[in-house]
Amino acid sequence: GYENLVTCPYNKAHQIENGRRFQTHLIKCRKEYEKNRTTAKTQCPFNATHIINEPELKHHLETCPDRVIVDKFQMPIVDSMEALQKPKPIKMITQSHNSEDWDEEPETPAYDPQKYCESNNIIRGCRGMQPHERKAFRQQEHVRLGQIREHK
């Protein structure tokens, strides 16, 4: 209906539905307006659909309804200045004397992926081998996988 219509800030004769159509219209109408501009217009930093005459910008920035959204996320300057001036208390950390040494190597052996693949049902590739080496490797793999399947 007519209640959703918004007047174009560039041409008062234009009545557009509020929403995406209005944003698209503003882009097209701005291009036409820039060609034969009469007064300087600027965009609100809080809402891109707010197009204001430059002399009215200061008043609009103070009264813009979308300013609340931005203000909610800004930290008050007074609190931040107090936080900068007050030094934070330093907690003293006492060292406990335990037998743990994080630089010492673990007692468990390192993981060997080749050894794991050889002893489990995993298909291995044979890249970079000559044709006769590939044939021998595949035969060995067939025997190895058969033995692993028998033990399960």
Could you count the other beta carbons within 10 Å of the beta carbon of residue 26? 22
So what's the pLDDT on residue 143? 94
DSSP string, 61-122: HHH-TTHHHHHHHSPPHHHHHHHHHSPPPPPP-PPP--S--TTSPPSSPPP-HHHHHHHTT-
Asked if 25 contacts 14 with a C-beta cutoff of 8 angstroms, the reply is yes
For tokens 């217009």, the residue is 41
Asked if 12 contacts 33 with a C-beta cutoff of 8 angstroms, the reply is no
Containing 42, the helix (H) or strand (E) segment is: strand 41-43
Structure token digits, residue 62: 């103070």
So what's the pLDDT on residue 76? 59
Backbone angles phi, psi at 5, to 5 degrees: -80, 140
Per-residue pLDDT of the chain (152 residues; tens, 9 = 90+): 567 888 888 888 999 888 888 888 988 888 888 877 777 888 898 888 898 988 999 999 999 988 888 777 775 555 555 666 667 777 777 666 666 777 777 777 788 888 898 889 988 888 899 999 999 999 999 999 999 888 86
Strand partners, 5: 17
So what's the pLDDT on residue 83? 61
CA quadruple 43, 44, 49, 50: dihedral, nearest 10: -100
d(CA 58, CA 42): 11
pTM of this prediction?
A: 0.43
